[in-house]
Structure 1
Amino acid sequence: MHIQVKKEFMKSFILLSIITGAVFVSGCKDYLDQVPDDRITIEEVFQKKASSQQYLANVYSYVPDISRQWEGFPWLGNSDEVDITWSKYSVYALNMGNMSAGNVLFDTWGNLYAGIRSATYFINHIDGNKEILALNGQELIDQYKAEARFLRAYYYFLLMQQYGPVVLVGDKELAADATAADMQIPRSPFDECVSYVVAELDQAAGVLPLRPMNNNQVSDAEYGRATKGMALAVKSRLLLYAASDLYNGNTDMAGFTDKGRQMISQTKDAEKWKKAADAAKAVIDLGIYNLYQDPSGDPVKSLQGIFFQPWNNEQIFVRKSNDLAGWDVHCMPRRAGGWNGIAATQEQVDAYFMKDGLTIQESPNYRETGFKDTLGQSIYNMYMNREPRFYTNITYNNAIFQGGSMQASAAITFYLSGPNGKNGHPTDYSKTGYLVRKNLGSQTNIGSGGNGQRQNRPLALFRLAEIYLNYAEALNEYEPGNADIAKYLNLVRKRAGIPQYGEGENPLPVPAPGAAMRNRIRQERRVELAFESHRWFDIRRWKIAPQVMGDVHGMNVNKDGNDFYARVVAGSHLFRPANYWFPISQYEMDRGRMLVQNPGW
């Protein structure tokens, strides 16, 4: 790592952006890299407030921008909820099974360890900053250290969800003249990783403010900086994962060992579910977050406002700098100047409830034959009488759309010879006959014929609805029948505008405790958190990926007219046992001789 400090420092603290010109950190691609040897420069950095803030901003810059799901991350396109239409991107190769330790796709190992090292260096060197002590006192130093500690824990969590057990480096820094032998560290069993990260998050949460602060005052300008709620939310998700089948008594991983140590727990522990439930409830009990509700009471506006009302009280952890405008244009139809290729699967379309709150298999209102005239369009009955989240999240054939370069609303079609169909472009067409509409900023106009306008907004990484569902799931596993399970599940359904279980207007029967309630919670999670990078991890931790992956379906985009409305295979998203985690690259394995590879790789 080499750090260069210019004489003139930036006056403002730019959060979640890569710092250039002031403090530039490079060459941190691997966790085994040695510490900087330019010690005089480093000492100067940590004696000044501005340069220390800029160093911390660089630590924030490692928070991934997961809006780039078409090329940067596989969490949507390598699940059963989305098909990314373009074969030029790596997710296509991943879906075809073309990955190995010698060719790791979407490899974040080195970059996240660079973030971890950067955070550790900050934690170890910020104490004694003369300028901060003189201007703000030890309290601000403690807050900055807590922010870096939170970020370090978060980066460990991201590594764990992708790779399983990881290398825990701790607070130790390697000397500049450290030998290769000094840098050999094995992976720790997953439960040890969980304990370490939870302890780090707890320590950070004990110092971090409830709201972003500047000079001890709540400041909108500081939104995006670490808070107590962010630390507790990451803890909630981590402990939920740790309690789930993939990590809790998973005898399928009995052979995953390192010198006799089991890397994955072989004995189920119900107390893990209690820890997960308690962690989610701790976020709820902060009392500062609420499900977003539009003042009009319109469920559709409420569902849209979650993402388009910046800094609303449902958002817990956001990334201010992002490429959501890129997401917008990739989700938009060609008629609006979009790239027309982030396509919802038929499996995801089928997951949405009907307006009576029942699934399509249960509701007497569901039909897959015939049409109904609505707003001057002939709408296939499959799309009628669905819940508000369906209409908010999915662009289907003959759905009305306005945005991008479309100045007036019009029906969007996906059949073969239509303006968004396969015949109109060799690559930019939906293979399923659907597009994702969730969190699509219609004011963005950066595609074909666009004027360059971007509808900027924060990228929500954690929000309260997830925490409610985390709590309901964990509590159902630990204490089936607890009244809070239906309560928090119903809060999500009520905001979505569909009947609740056991209360409200047109109530549905409360699911029986245990398996029946588990199924309802999983259904709700799939719909409420769709297209937010949850499904990839959920189907693995529940160990249902072998059942739900494989062929994905859609409408027949090779046909015109009513022949379009037929379920066909749209693509293949392969899954094999090795795909529960990504492999560690052979490059890292060769350098870290104490590393054990993930099963199947």
Structure 2
Amino acid sequence: MKRFITKILLGALLITSYTSCSDFFNNEPDNIETLDNVFAHREGTLKFLSNIYSYIRPPYRWSNETLWAGVSDEIDVTYADYEISKINLGMLAPDREGLYYGNLWSHYYPGIRAATLFMNRVNENVELSQEEIDQYHDEARALRAWFYFCLIRQYGPVPILSDQLIDGDATVEEMNMSRATISTCFNYVINELTEVIENGKLLNSNASMSNLDYGRFTKLTCMAIRARALLYAASDLYNRDKTTPLFRELKNNDGTYLMDYTNNGATERWQKAADAALEIITTSGLQLHYSKNRDAYESYREVFMEDWNDEIIYAIPDGSFWEMDLASTPHGFNGWNGWGVTQEMVDAYFMANGEAPILGYNADGSPIINPKSGYSESGFSTSSGDNGHTESGTYLMYCGREPRFYASITFENMKWISKVNHSGEKVHFYYGGNAGRTLTETRNYCQTGYLCAKFLNPNTNVATGNNDPHAAVVFRLGEVYLNYVEALNEVNYTTNLSTILFYLNQIRERAGIPGYGEQGLAVPANQEEMREAIRRERRVELAFEEARYFDCCRWAIAHKYFDGPKHGMNVNDPAGESAFFKRTVFETRVFPERNILWPIPLSDIYKASKLVQNPDWSTVSSTDMEE
């Protein structure tokens, strides 16, 4: 037993921690002590808890490890040797455990075990008050629930250890656990969080904590995780009557179907998701964030630039988004040019009049343009416009778009938004431009002709290393609004229409575009049309926040959007600017249906005979793939 616990402690202490502006997140142990000593003293106990927090992965961060947007249809990560690029080319396999995404199975379970160990022993500490013991115990319990949720969204049904700490000397058979059904998994997460919420031992929200405590899980954090878990539990992927045939037949060796939700009870599941979201809306005291002048562009930017603003439910006080700023900066401005946005994502943003510019695509990939939108791909502007966000000579594709587009995308001929590094200079993605390919580049350049600007801090100077830190937003009220309207629509479109429109249009109002039923913009006429409207709003409002990837997976449609050709502008033609404005395939991605649920690492499958692999992965091997 002692040997196993020591392994847990070692894993918790050695796990990579993110540098933070919060002392709480900086509080790493200096050395490995015995558990008795750790839990006998206040400092050791808090360091142990701090390292459980370090298992949290930021939703967006320039890294080879954690960029879920990079394996969706939102982003192209420039570097060919990064694992994201390999995954997008079909190289995901159960035996490729070196791919960090595929190894999150081995990342979260140590975090789960460390949390359980902490819960079992924190009450031994005589230097902590009972109030502190209760709070820290429930923080660890909530963290454990979050880690389980992260496993479920990636792998589907997983083994649930509950409060069990398996002895390190246990036999293989004693450690051999089968996967729980999906209803058991979600119910476990939801019930754990509900008990923590009802215990009332956590801090209520960010507003009730000191600066040193930013980053702790609060009651409101738990409510947000629970609401998201309830939304996922109601979604099609986990419903045997609505999921794809591939996942419908997923079952344990004893014949137990793992996707055990059905249409029976589906409405009730959606209603629970709606109720959980509404509880946050009505009790949190939060609101959609607006800038002082209520400018739509500034309001949206400030959600991610102003730490602990009035929309944030939970954020990681990371403070080290230096790499994100570098990745979002053109190489001609001392950056990495690394976070390219796909044409498909550019097309998703609305026009200023609230209309969608693109309704779909023809068989050859050409866009089906919405005639009501005013969108054009012919010609260039003759003057500046769009509240100063477009210059004379800007391709009309980028003119007349909504404020969230200008707040999120760096496009050809726009003025660079940095205030301290090449401020106001125009960005050029064409061949030979300051953000484009050069004669010496073979692959490590922006392939799409766009960069992500959403999280770019204009006060960070990548040329001098002057980093202006900000937190990574994990949960915010804008998502809760969208969760709420999605659930209400699935419960009953007709009955809930007025409420759906109210909250959906609140998102659009902050974005600076007309709501449905306003200024001639038609109201979605039925549940199916409203479903598509809500999904499109989620795609834009929550862009690059890891929502798109997991949304498409839980809707069981990811393979329809992530697989196949992905487009950008023509960045490779030496003719330069004259040849640039042409939709061009930059990569043909491989995302078969099986990728919706990732493979469990093969080493774990070998160790546990009861642990069944996800569908269609058993015959996949890295030896059959070319690097």
TM-score of the aligned structures, taking structure 2 as reference length? 0.87
Between the two structures, name the one with larger relative contact order (CA 8 Å, sep ≥ 6).
Answer: 2
How far apart in 2 are the matches of 1:68 and 1:494?
Answer: 28
Corresponding residue to 2:251 among 253, 257, 266: 257
Contact 2:320 2:470 (C-alpha < 8 Å) held by counterparts? no
1:279: Cα distance to partner?
1.5
1:267, CA displacement in angstroms?
Answer: 2.0
| Equivalent residue, structure 2, for 1:38 | none
Which one of the candidate residues 386, 404, 407 is aligned to 1:392?
407
Q: 2: CA distance between counterparts of 1:321 and 1:501?
A: 37
Q: Which runs of 5+ in 1 are unaligned?
A: 7-11, 25-40
Q: How does 1:82-481 map to 2 (within 5 A)?
A: 82-104=75-97, 105=99, 106=101, 107-132=103-128, 136=129, 138-206=130-198, 207=200, 208-212=202-206, 218-249=209-240, 250=243, 252=245, 253-258=247-252, 259-265=254-260, 267-268=262-263, 269-321=266-318, 323-360=320-357, 361-362=369-370, 363-375=372-384, 377-403=392-418, 406-423=421-438, 425-426=440-441, 427-446=443-462, 450-481=463-494
- Which deviations, in whole Å up to 9, do the C-alpha atoms of 1:73-119 show, x marking residues without a partner? 24111111111121110011101111211114211111111110110
The 5-angstrom pairing of residues 20-31 of structure 1 reads 20-22=29-31
Structure 2 spans left out of the alignment, 5+ residues? 14-20, 358-368, 385-390, 618-627
> Which residue matches 1:591?
607
Q: Secondary structure at the match of 1:373?
A: coil
Bigger mean CA offset, 185-194 vs 74-83: 74-83
- CA-based RMSD of the aligned residues comes to 2.1
Residue 323 of structure 1 and its aligned partner are, at CA, apart by 4.0
1:71 aligns with 2:64: yes
Compare the two structures and name the one with the higher strand fraction.
Answer: 1
Amino acid in structure 2 at the alignment position of 1:320: P
Partners of 1:17 and 1:58 within 8 A in 2: no
Distance of 1:600 and 1:313 partners within structure 2: 45
- CA–CA separation in structure 2 for the residues paired with 1:163 and 1:15: 31
Query: Mapping of 1:569-580 within 5 angstroms?
Result: 569-580=585-596
Q: Deviations over 1:289-327 (max 9, x none)?
A: 111100111111101100111111211111112642111
Identity %: 38
CA contact under 8 A between 2:223 and 2:276: conserved in structure 1? yes
| Deviations 1:327-360, CA, capped at 9 Å, x for gaps | 1110111122111121111101110000000001
Residue in 1 aligned with 2:548? Answer: 535
Is the CA contact (8 Å cut-off) linking 1:210 and 1:228 kept in structure 2?
yes
Measured after TM superposition, the shift of residue 128 of structure 1 is: 3.9
Separation in structure 1 between the aligned mates of residue 151 and residue 520 of structure 2, nearest angstrom = 42
Q: Within the alignment, does 1:19 sit opposite 2:28 as a pair?
A: yes
Counterpart of 1:466 in structure 2: which amino acid?
A: E
- Which of residues 502, 527, 531 in structure 2 aligns to 1:518? 531
Cα gap change, 1:380 to 1:321, in 2 (>3 Å): same
Pairs aligned (count): 568
Q: Distance in 2 between matches of 1:424 and 1:527?
A: 35
**Alignment correspondent of 2:18:** none
C-alpha deviation, 1:463, in angstroms:
0.8
Structure 2 SS opposite 1:599: coil
**CA–CA distance in structure 1, aligned partners of residues 472 and 306 of structure 2:** 11
Q: Secondary structure at the match of 2:70?
A: coil
Contact 1:80 / 1:573 at 8 angstroms: preserved in 2?
Answer: no
Which AA in structure 2 matches 1:167? P
What is the letter of the counterpart of residue 335 of structure 1? G
1: CA distance, partners of 2:558 / 2:51: 36
Asked if the contact 2:431–2:438 (Cα under 8 Å) also holds between the matched residues in 1, the reply is: yes
Amino acid in structure 2 at the alignment position of 1:410:
E
Query: Contact conserved, 1:245 with 1:541, CA < 8 A, in 2?
Result: yes
- Contact 1:306–1:312 under 8 Å retained in 2: yes
TM-score (norm. length: structure 1): 0.90
Task: Tell whether the 8 Å contact from 1:251 to 1:266 is kept in structure 2 after alignment.
Answer: no
C-alpha separation in 1, matches of 2:319 and 2:84: 20
Q: Which position in structure 2 is the counterpart of 1:30?
A: none
2:361 corresponding residue in structure 1: none
SS in 2 for 1:462: strand
Letter in 2 for 1:84: V
Letter in 2 for 1:210: N
